[in-house]
Chains A and B, each alone.
Chain A
Amino acid sequence: MTRSAVRTAPGSLVREAAGRLAGGGSGTVFALLVLIFAVVFALNPSFAEPPSLLAFVKKAAPLVILAVGQYLVIVSGELDLSVGSLVGAQVVIAAALIDGEPDRTVPVVLLMIAFGAVVGLVNGLVTTVLRVPSIITTLGTMLVLYGAIRLWTGGAPTGALSEAFRQPGRGGIEDLPVIGQLPWALLILLAVGAAAIVLMRLPYGRMLVATGDNDTAARFSGVRVWRVRTVAFVLSSLLATVAGILIGGYAGVTAQVGDGLEFMAITAVVLGGVVLGGGRGTVVAAMAGALTVEALFTLFNQLSLPSTIQPTVQGLIIIAAVGYAARERTRRSPRSAEPQSPQPDTPMEPSRDGSR
């Protein structure tokens, strides 16, 4: 988005730089992230040591990657509920097909990528060509994948992952001074993040946001909306596949793997200030949202709160974040003198609804 260019006041230079870095991202989520980490460090100084932080990143990486995929779909005005099931399916498929044989690792990973792409393509085409609302399409895909895996495995995963398969999620460059292990998961995360930032700066990224903002206008300006959205779904499923590889590597196969991850990812994206319905928010803020969700759960753990509180908190975050965004928009809308956001680094914008 171009709105950051209108700011020139000296006091906002730093913020503008940060805004540019984030492609116009949200300040709120970064503030929250810093705050949560400050509290965690205060509670438990050992968490600030590099090995602990890297362990945190290793755990958080799959969700951040899922959030990137979910961001691409959400910013284009759709939703992808199938990613949690897809992660679960990919891990179960990997375990069953690899079955402990190291030689099968690479072919199975390639197969998983192909499977991920097909799932994304189906989600995308059903949504854009058949015009089924994406919440229904991906809910259907979620159930189909969940059911198919249960049917195939009889309810319990079989097989085993090879050590090589587990490396990306569990291993890293070992025996480094100070930090100990530099996890592969961090490097993969950085690569995915960088690629996503670049993608959002390319014409495709701008078309994606334009589509989410107002798909009719985008269509009139020559964007092939169906293609742009379908690609977003494919990317989301491919990133879910990457997340599945990392999660399977991190913790191995259990029957529950992937359960509820779609809502974690949506929570992360919304917390990052990305507006449900599309057109607003940055990918960096979505990634920060994922880190914030993970950090929040870490904080709860440090406070010895029961993990059963997590769903409630997730719900509150979604309501609070969406409510906050809506409030910002309604509050600002009567002031026609301020059509532009005075803070370029916030995701909240005057409503795209033409009636306001």
Chain B
Amino acid sequence: MRIPRALLVSGAAMSLLLTACTTDVPDDDDAAAAGPAPDQEWFDPEEFERQLAQREITPEGPEDQPWLQAIEPEMVDTGEYRLEGEEAEAPTVCFSNASVSNPWRVTGWITMQQQVEVLQDSGEIGEFRVSDAADDDNQQISDIQAFVDAGDCAAIIISPSTTATLTPAVEAACESGAPVIVFDRGVDTDCAVTFIHPIGGYAFGADAAEFLVEELEPGSTVLALRILPGVDVLEHRWAAAQQVFGESDLEILGHEFTEGDGAQIKDLVTQYLQRGDVDGIWMDAGDGAVAALEAFEDSGRPYPVISGEDELSFMRKWQEEDITAIAPVYSNFQWRTPVLAATRILNGEEVPEEWVLPQEPVTAADLDDYLERNADMPSLHYAKFGGEDLPGFPEAWQDR
């Protein structure tokens, strides 16, 4: 009786270990991939080059209103959507939102609502009808269908939850005859009048990686912290970083998924520090950057060179501790642009077919400026939210 049980126990333990060992093999390849060649699946060399070049192009449009700027816009005529007479008075604009499930989206959503208020006061928008799909593709498909069925949306704005699944729903919205505006994440159709987005993930990832390459000595070690696999904007960030790191003399220790959970980030970084030195941290989104920095504090190590994001908790820590850092930005002010685009389209004014908004990282040079402007904002707020001139500033963003 006792022997088989002991066998069972050791068998179970062995199989656990063996499972660990077998899965180790592909991961070795994976770790190697952290070096020179990015995953082909997520790396489009042409788009990579295009985005890197777009960083250098001066955008057209008012300098003090980056949400109205556009990089190399190709304008399209929207005369067919122009509303006249009674229809033009306070038209209903409908917005299908993927979700407000993270602080970045919450910040943007507040900015959008404040912008809508301005447009409602001036009579350019009447009712602003909103549905929130809570990250559920099926929900969003039926939300969009409901807008189409209602038949009274003068314009339909869509922030898609995922790319491929939402494509038919966006096409159905286009077929309804109302002008469709897509922003943030894309879809596989160009039926929308305009697609609004910042430069993109490659530019974000490269901004961060280039900074680390510049600031660190050759041979230094870098740990990459990522949120989730398989999300295009995040994969592009990492693919760009792999490209940049591959051409550098930095040693990439590994890339880990953290789900943006501070406790996991801190634990992972602590473990890497137990194994050896970590000179730099690259992140695909900086929500948990402070937790990563605290791991260095608690281990009694000097701060690394780090890339975070324009989230205030990180920027405040950066200033307080005088860390060598950069905050790549996925322009949160893009949430203002779709409603402004809607009013333009309904006035028959032309808009860029692909509306590429500027996306500039916060650097040590403008850190103090952005922190001062956002001094009263909560820590999970994004510095480049672009709502300082809107009514309700700052209370609307504080009382979230």
Contacts and interface: CB of A to CB of B under 8 A. Distances in A.
By Cβ-Cβ distance, the 10 closest A-B pairs, closest first, are A251-B262, A156-B103, A254-B262, A251-B263, A156-B106, A155-B100, A158-B378, A256-B261, A155-B106, A154-B400
Contact of B271 (A247, A252, A298, A306): A298
B298 interface: yes
A306 B257 contact: yes
Contact of A257 (B28, B101, B263): B263
B271 A153 contact: no
Interface centre among B28, B106, B107 (most CB of A within 10 A): B106
A355 interface: no
Interface stretch (A27-35, A119-127, A132-140): A27-35
B20 A247 contact: no
Given A155-B105, A252-B291, A324-B12, 12 more contacts: A158-B378, A158-B379, A170-B298, A252-B313, A254-B261, A254-B287, A256-B260, A299-B20, A303-B20, A303-B21, A305-B27, A320-B12
Contacts of A309: 23
Interface string B95-138: 00001111101110010000000000000000000000000000
B25 to A, nearest CB: 11
Interface in B256-279: 256-268, 270-271, 274-275
Interface in A16-31: 27-28, 31
29 contacts: A31-B13, A35-B13, A35-B17, A44-B274, A46-B274, A47-B274, A55-B299, A154-B110, A155-B100, A155-B106, A156-B106, A156-B400, A158-B379, A160-B313, A251-B261, A251-B288, A254-B262, A254-B287, A256-B259, A256-B260, A257-B261, A257-B262, A301-B268, A303-B20, A305-B27, A320-B12, A328-B5, A338-B1, A342-B2
Interface in B1-26: 1-2, 5, 8-9, 12-13, 16-17, 19-21, 23-24
A46 B371 CA distance: 40
A300 B20 contact: yes
Interface centre among B31, B110, B259 (most CB of A within 10 A): B259
B17 A39 contact: yes
Nearest to B1: A342
A11 to B, nearest CB: 11
Contacts of A187: none
Nearest to A60: B267
A304 interface: yes
Interface string B271-307: 1001100000000000110110010001110000000
Given A299-B20, A304-B24, A252 B267 contact: no
B263 A155 contact: no
B130 to A, nearest CB: 14
B229 interface: yes
Nearest to B316: A160
Nearest to B298: A170
Interface in A229-266: 247, 250-257, 259
Given A32-B13, A304-B254, A52 B262 contact: no
Interface of B: 1-2, 5, 8-9, 12-13, 16-17, 19-21, 23-24, 27-28, 30-31, 99-103, 105-107, 110, 229, 254, 256-268, 270-271, 274-275, 287-288, 290-291, 294, 298-300, 313, 378-380, 398, 400
A157 interface: yes
A180 B103 CA distance: 37
Given A154-B106, A252-B290, A299-B20, A159 B378 contact: yes
Interface of A: 27-28, 31-32, 35, 39, 44, 46-47, 51-52, 55, 59, 62, 150, 153-160, 170, 180, 247, 250-257, 259, 296, 298-309, 313, 316, 320, 324, 328, 338, 342-343, 346
A170 B261 contact: no
Interface centre among A155, A157, A316, A346 (most CB of B within 10 A): A155
Nearest to B104: A156
Contacts of A247: 263
A305 B102 contact: no
A307 B264 contact: yes
Contacts of B258: 307
Given A39-B17, A250-B263, A307-B258, A156 B380 contact: yes
Contacts of A46: 274-275
A59 B106 contact: no
Nearest to B276: A46
Nearest to B297: A170
Nearest to A309: B23
Contacts of B100: 154-155
Interface centre among B2, B16, B99, B100 (most CB of A within 10 A): B16
Contacts of A313: 19
